[in-house]
Structure 1
Amino acid sequence: MHFRATRAEIDRDAFAHNAQLIRDSAAGAKVLGVIKADGYGHGVISTANAIAAHVDAFAVAFIDEALQLREAGFSLPIVLLEGCLSAAELPICAHHNLQPVVHEPSQLDAILTSRLVRPLAVWLKVDTGMHRLGWHPQDVARVYRELEASPNVGAITLMSHYANSGDSEHPLTQRQNDLFSAVCAETAITESLSIANSAALLSSSKDFSTLDGHWVRTGLTLYGVAPRTPDQNIKIPLRPVMRLVAPVIAVREIPVGDSVGYGSRWQAKRKSRIATVAIGYADGYPRHCPDGTPVYVHGTEVPLIGTVSMDMITIDITDLDAVQVGDEVELWGPNLPVDRIAEAAGTISYELFCRVSARVPRVEI
């Protein structure tokens, strides 16, 4: 039971809608639904339940996240994007049909020398220019041959990751495409390739009709936010999944010249009416949001004023007559895109979602 009215509403129908749009956009490609970081803060079990019928596999960061899904009864394949962090994880992967990414030598050695009850499907990662994880392109053919010859390996998917997702005109993007194509040609893999993610999926330059059997990795789009791409004319009718809301808990009038909040950052230039809202940085609302960051109340936007506190924010409702204690304020959601809050806070929507804290109930609607 939750008594606190501050909550993150999770729209299951929006999840399914977005997943089906992605499935349709990807044509013949298989869809890997990325639900790491507790489903980008939306609740991993709710997320998995909502999208399971629309994706071919899940992806998480590491094995603990995968086992949470298995314990909840999900049977779809699960890809571990960071791979196994110790050899002890490999028998668990074999038992639970978890598919580790192999991106560095100790992971390869562990796979080649372990004794497993059944072969693993693995994802061989190539560093084509992001320089975060993956094998140098000149090493991939050798690693591929070693994996292919191992009785511990049943299937291999070749993957890489764009550094400038969705920017098909960036010079590094073309270099990455060329490197990935060259590496693919050095293996026997003609399908089971994966380089496209959410942003690439929305890029008009990508022809997904040629990707039968390949994998498209989709994360942010599942949650109803289109990744930023240089081609802002690309539109897909996504529906926001999370609606972050909190109640007004106080209303007061202050005279000209008085200040609001810690540090007296904001001062009234006119007689003002101020509402205090029960959400703060302990809930994940960014402390560094400036004055003027929009919030949505009574069908309109009003500005945040004053420094964000641990449990509260203050907003200027001078131009609204009807706001009172108990009224609901939307911090982001269908009426106020999360990207606008992220821009005001100097961050990205991914971070805002992931930082919504555990004390904010996720309520499915």
Structure 2
Amino acid sequence: MSARIITAFSSRLTIDTGAIRANYRSLARHVAPAECGAVIKADAYGLGARVAAPALHAEGCRTFFVAQLREAFDVADTLGADAAIAILNGLDPGCEAACAEAGFLPVLNAPGQVERWRRLARAKGTALPAVLQVDSGMSRLGLDAAAAAALAADPAFPREVALRFVMTHLACADAPGHAANAGQLARFQAIRALFPEARASIANSGGAFLSPAYHCDLVRPGIALFGVQPSPDGPAMRPVVRLEARILQIREVEAGSGVGYGLDHVAPTRQRLATLGIGYADGWPRSLGGAGAAWHAGARLPIVGRVSMDSLTVDLSALAPDALSEGDFVALLGPCQSLADVARDAGTIPYEILTRLGSRSERTFVETVQ
């Protein structure tokens, strides 16, 4: 007897590749004449790199960034031979030969990574392409100024490493007026001058909306491509995702009834409640209990009680009694509630909301034209 495959879902995530493409076009125009790359790490922020990458390539993107070597292998066959894939975290020891064979660009972040890449180049008798990251003040990844200067003064370095570009990362790009931005730019400009033949990159999504001085030769947007506005300045990003959850049960509870784990919510009056088939195992934050909401027909449906692993409960008081039935879907992300709205209510950032959306939702890709 063959097993039946059940394909019913309690939540559904709709991803608009047309919006991703439109956001890339908008960003590319905004940062021109600098090149606009695309950060597609963490499976394109959870939305599916194997779909997002070719959509971006079709819009003219040719430089892609992932975080890990395995992410580069996961997406490489969806891109043309003219695309470059850079690995932001660099390489774990022993992975250098596989990276070189595949033609990926390691981002060399530490002296050990640099030395292992140079050692492979010497063994092959040819310069190997790479990216060099320098630390301009974030204290996370990258060579410090002294180590970068030592490399620039080493005559063997350009014979062993074909430097595609020098990069750094902004710590406060989402705060345009923060003094750290100007300080990092000044430090980066001083270091990049040591490598005059290499292109330069400093701007992430937030940096794309700073002054053109931050655009350099290559801008690396990530979250902005997927519908989040990283700064109040610059062009508006089109929303990319819509998330809906199915109503599992509707019930009436009397005043004084407790709801959910810990009975945190106590009904102040008779309430009509709906239990939705989504919870923190699906990536919907537990912190939204008593703070977040679902939406239907323009009405806000507050979450009452705690968010459970597989479900949460919302108050239907704002709707007519016959407006919804068991099996219907209500919206958690969409025109009435953005990623930024949910992140605010959850006390976090849109990046975390987007990348946590789990694999249990039915995923549908659409391509709207606007």
TM-score, L = length of structure 2? 0.90
User: C-alpha separation between the residues in 1 aligned to 2:207 and 2:162?
Assistant: 29
User: What do the CA deviations read for 1:264-301 (whole angstroms, capped 9, x no partner)?
Assistant: 11111121110111101111101121313121112322
Partner of 2:281: 282
User: What do the CA deviations read for 1:68-94 (whole angstroms, capped 9, x no partner)?
Assistant: 1124455311000011111x3222222
Contact 2:132 2:163 in 1 (8 A): no
User: What do the CA deviations read for 1:179-222 (whole angstroms, capped 9, x no partner)?
Assistant: 11111223323x6100011101123x3357x74xx110100001
Contact 2:299 2:318 in 1 (8 A): no
SS at match of 1:69: helix
Shift of 1:51: 1.1
Of all paired residues, the percent bearing the same amino acid is 33
> Does structure 1 residue 250 correspond to structure 2 residue 249?
yes
> Does structure 1 residue 198 correspond to structure 2 residue 199?
no
> Does structure 1 residue 153 correspond to structure 2 residue 156?
no
Shift of 1:147: 8.2
Partner of 1:137: 145
User: C-alpha separation between the residues in 1 aligned to 2:277 and 2:225?
Assistant: 28
The letter for the 2-side match of 1:265 is D
Partner of 2:47: 42
Q: Could you say if the C-alpha distance between residues 206 and 166 of structure 1 is closer, same or farther in structure 2, counting changes exceeding 3 Å?
A: farther
User: What do the CA deviations read for 1:124-169 (whole angstroms, capped 9, x no partner)?
Assistant: 1111110001111122122234486354422331111111114343
The letter for the 2-side match of 1:221 is A
Shift of 1:10: 0.9
Contact 1:258 1:267 in 2 (8 A): yes
The number of residues matched between the two structures is 355
Instruction: Give the stretch that moved more between structures: 277-286 or 163-172.
Output: 163-172
Partner of 1:163: 171
Contact 2:229 2:236 in 1 (8 A): no
Partner of 2:181: 173
- 1:272-311 to structure 2, matched below 5 A, reads 272-311=271-310
Q: Could you say if the C-alpha distance between residues 147 and 243 of structure 1 is closer, same or farther in structure 2, counting changes exceeding 3 Å?
A: farther
- 1:319-338 to structure 2, matched below 5 A, reads 319-321=318-320, 322-338=323-339
Q: Could you say if the C-alpha distance between residues 151 and 187 of structure 1 is closer, same or farther in structure 2, counting changes exceeding 3 Å?
A: closer
- 1:21-100 to structure 2, matched below 5 A, reads 21-54=26-59, 55-72=61-78, 74-75=80-81, 76-86=83-93, 88-100=94-106
Which of 221, 225, 228 is the matching residue for 2:224? Answer: 221
Instruction: Give the stretch that moved more between structures: 316-325 or 141-150.
Output: 141-150
SS at match of 2:189: helix
Shift of 1:52: 1.4
Instruction: Give the stretch that moved more between structures: 217-226 or 144-153.
Output: 144-153
Note the residue ranges of structure 1 that are not aligned, 5 or more in a row.
Answer: none
User: C-alpha separation between the residues in 1 aligned to 2:50 and 2:317?
Assistant: 41
SS at match of 2:75: helix
SS at match of 1:275: strand
Contact 1:282 1:311 in 2 (8 A): yes
Contact 1:78 1:99 in 2 (8 A): yes
Note the residue ranges of structure 2 that are not aligned, 5 or more in a row.
Answer: 1-5
Contact 1:124 1:144 in 2 (8 A): no
Contact 1:8 1:362 in 2 (8 A): yes
TM-score, L = length of structure 1? 0.91
Shift of 1:362: 2.2
Partner of 1:8: 13
Shift of 1:325: 1.2
User: C-alpha separation between the residues in 1 aligned to 2:132 and 2:153?
Assistant: 11
Partner of 1:128: 136
Contact 1:95 1:117 in 2 (8 A): no
User: C-alpha separation between the residues in 2 aligned to 1:357 and 1:124?
Assistant: 34
Partner of 1:266: 265
Contact 1:83 1:103 in 2 (8 A): yes
Shift of 1:320: 0.3
Quote the RMSD (CA, aligned, Å): 2.0
User: What do the CA deviations read for 1:218-274 (whole angstroms, capped 9, x no partner)?
Assistant: 0000101011x4xx3x25221111211111121111111112111111111121110
Q: Could you say if the C-alpha distance between residues 292 and 156 of structure 1 is closer, same or farther in structure 2, counting changes exceeding 3 Å?
A: closer
User: C-alpha separation between the residues in 1 aligned to 2:213 and 2:186?
Assistant: 16
